[in-house]
Structures are given as structure tokens and as C-alpha cells.
Amino acid sequence: MDHAEIATIRTQFQAGEWPQFLQMVSIDGLRGWSGQSVEFNFPVVAIVGENGSGKSTLLKAATCVYDQEKKDKKFFPSSFFVDTHWDKISGVNIAYRVKRGSAIDSFRVSKPTKRWRDPENPPKRNVYLLDVSRTLPLDASAGYAKIARSAAAEIESDELDDEFRGRLSHVLGRSYHKARFATSDVDARRQVGLLQREWGEVSQFHQGAGEDATLDLFRVLQNIPKNSLLVIDEVEASLHPRAQRRLTRFLLWLARRRRVQIIVSTHSPYVLEELPQEARILLLPGPQGLSVVYGVSPEFAMSRLDDEIHPDLHIFVEDRNAETWLREILASNSDTSELLRQIEISPVGPANVVGILGSLGVSGKLPYKSVAFTDGDHPKPDCRKLPGEEAPERVVFTDLQKIGWGQLTSRFGIGAGTLFGVLEDAMLEPDHHKWPTLVGDQVAKSASSVWETLCTEWSKACLSENVREEISSAISAAINPPI
């Protein structure tokens, strides 16, 4: 993650420097949406969710509120959401909240019965939608087979400028000397992209799928006007993980430079990891309909998309350290350790995300049994609390310090004088999240290994039977709720 770039964008966005911004879309009566709203709280956001959760519906709906300067470029819901012999669409309402300068206005698109109704005096904005069809190989696209067979000459050529060509090279990890689009003498409406490397030039008919799709994407992005709305479905398509990361960073750069708002859908943890918490939106289907969850960790978002062994209970915690601590608490007793076979502990993000998931679980809106545990310093309604009144690192380090660090010397295999000095020196660091790393750097162990060792000793030497019983009882009751 490019923390400096994100910090700059966040500061500028909070200062109101995006004069055109789609703040909210609410969809009712369309493809499983029943009035849920999605707020966009950052200039670049990623929508994640399993297939059929509503990502593409949301992206297409987002494009339909705006008029464009060229009327033939406007997106209409009637083009996306079509009546068929099997699908009759009616009773639809799509509401929008739009920022224009200092003004914030609301608009609505609807289909009460047979016809779509557009808003009066809709806002104007340049809108670009890049759906998954952009990944179709050129030789499989309509009209291009004839060009491949019959072209005898070029009549025109447009090049990417040096800056965008350089960024294309960076995203794909290859040095391109030239990137251009040629118009043949066969069809002036269809251009063919060409990339030049040290050994020669290759057309999109013979480029790799990632090169082909990304070259077309860069042609659009080079010419995108300031303050536009850019919507990309499955942004990671055909790209390997490093290229996915670099493309996401490029989109952040483009958003900042041209004040473009970008909404993408993704199934990629690499894309999510390059975006801040407020830019991640999970669409989570449940027995009572769709839930919208903001700020989820990439790990939790991806776990909702995997084939997995279904546990009896899902437990939500803030981060990996909380997960390890809870696991060691349960493992410290032969009776409570049996619960580990029935549960899955998921780090989902900060306390507000744990709180949201806790509330969804209590209200029966998740498709599985669940219970949420916040850190002691972040209590939330509908959530249980881990031991103590502070963050896990502070509780574990401080409690062990009070008892003279227990049996840590034997666990680490290091003399007391050295080890205790390292532990206490780490506690001088104001950021408690760094404590296990600082210790690990001095004792030649990973931060995760240090933390697990500390949690094991704390659970043996500091954990009271009452606290262990309280935690295990909460988990047992969630697995087998009273009738």
C-alpha cells in the first residue's frame, strides 16, 4: 500500500477537492436489492462479494444518474436491466446522492411498471464504464477477424504519451519502447493496439491477455477528462498479483491527479490490500437479504468467497493478534480446547467492522452462526470483549511483567537479563502494535512467533478460570443457542 499517496488523497478529499462526486446509491426492487444503500467514502473504492451478490448491478446503476455531453454516451438502465421472456422488471427505485461543487442533491431513477423514468434536470458528468467484455481477445471481437486477414496498410496511428507508456510498463513489469493504436485500411472504426519491445512490435492479436486488456484500459485512462466517473468491473481480470497491485496504485495516482472518482469490483485480495479501510465495501448475502459492510479486512472479504469447511461458529475479531490470543485462551484448558474444532476465528478489521458484524449476527442477518469479540479498549454493542480494558498487546505484556515474565526464559531459550531487557524496552514504544516485532528483531524470531509465545504463557500464568469460563460459555451458547 502506498501510504503517502493514500494520505494525500484522504486529506484532499476531506477538504472537498473532488467537485463532482457520487456519494450514495440505493437500490430497491432489482436483482436481490431491497432498499440497501452504498455510501462511497473515498475517491477510489472496491466492491467485493461472491458471484451474484449484486456487484455488477451496483456498478451499472451507478452510471445511470448522469447525463453526458454527448447524448449517445449516456448510460440508460433500460440497456442494462432488460425485460425478457423470463425476467419482468418493475417496481424498481434507484436513489442517488450527488455532490456538485458545494451543493449536494438527490436524484431518482425508477421503473414503476413498464417504463423507466429518468430524473428531471439530471446532473452532467463524463462517465466511463469498462465491463468484463474488455477482456475479450481481439481476434474474438466482432469485426476484427477481417482486419487480421485483409489489412494491407495503416491509415492512422495514435500513441500513448511517454508518461502513460511508462506507467503501463511499470504495471505490466516490461519495458515498452512504444505503445500505439493503429487504424487499418480495412475498417476505420476499429483500432488495433501495438506494443514495441526491444525485439520488435506485436499487435493485440498476439499479445498476452493481460497486455491486451491493460493496453485498452490505458487508452481510455489517458484521455479521461477531469472530474469524471470511472467504473471498472473485475479490475484485476487477466493480471498477475504484482500487476494488480501496481494497477491499483496507478488508479489512485490518476484519481488524485485528475480528481476522477473510481469505483471497481474485484475478487482480488491484492487490490483490496492496496486500498484503505474506507475504500473496501463487502456485499454479504444473508437469510434476510443483502448486507453492506464497510472497511473489512482483505482476509475476511476473501474468506467469504472461498470454498471452505463450514464451522459450527464464526468468531469475528479485530486482527491477527486478537485471533492468536483468543485461540491460546481456548487451547489452555483441555475442556475449552475442544471448541477449537468447531469454530473459525476471522480477523475482520477495526472495532467498528467487528461491531457491524456483531450486530448483523445478533439480528440473524448472516448466513451462519457467529459471535464477535472486540479488544478490551473498543467495546461495542452486540459484541463480547476480550480480557482486560486495553489492547491485547498491552494486557499481555503488562500482566506478564507484573509476575516477573513467568517462564518466558525457558520458552524463548534466552537468559533472563537479556530477555527481560528486550521486553521492557519494547514496551517503551508508544505504538503497542509494534511490541512483538521489536522483541522479535532482538531475539531472532518473527513477530507472530513472539506473540504466540507470550499469549501461551499469559494463558497459563495470568488467565483466571472465571475469564476463561466466561469466554468459552459465550462461544458454547452461540454454537447451541437456548431454544
For 344, the enclosing helix (H) or strand (E) is: strand 343-347
Q: What is the pLDDT of residues 100-120, one digit of tens each?
A: 998 999 999 998 888 888 888
How much is the pLDDT for 331? Answer: 94
Q: What are phi and psi of 239, to 5 degrees?
A: -110, 145
131 forms beta bridges with: none
Q: How far apart are CA 171 and CA 296, in angstroms?
A: 26
State the pLDDT at residue 88.
84
pLDDT by residue for the chain (483 residues), tens only, comes to: 888 999 999 999 999 999 999 999 999 988 889 899 999 999 999 999 888 888 899 999 999 999 987 777 888 888 888 888 787 888 899 999 999 998 999 999 998 888 888 888 889 999 999 887 665 555 555 555 555 565 655 666 678 888 998 998 899 888 988 888 877 666 666 777 788 888 888 776 776 777 888 888 888 899 899 999 999 998 888 888 999 999 999 999 999 999 999 999 998 889 999 999 899 999 988 888 888 989 888 888 877 666 555 788 999 999 999 999 999 999 999 889 999 989 999 999 999 999 999 999 999 888 889 999 999 999 999 999 999 999 999 999 999 999 999 999 999 888 888 999 999 999 999 999 999 999 999 999 999 999 999 999 999 999 999 999 999 999 999 998 876
Q: Please give the C-alpha separations between residue 354 and each of 214, 273, 277, in angstroms, as whole numbers.
A: 36, 18, 13
Measured distance CA(191)–CA(189) in Å, rounded: 7
**The pTM of the whole model exceeds 0.85:** no
Q: Are 45 and 248 in contact (CB under 8 A)?
A: no
Q: How far apart are CA 44 and CA 26, in angstroms?
A: 19
Q: Length of the chain, please?
A: 483
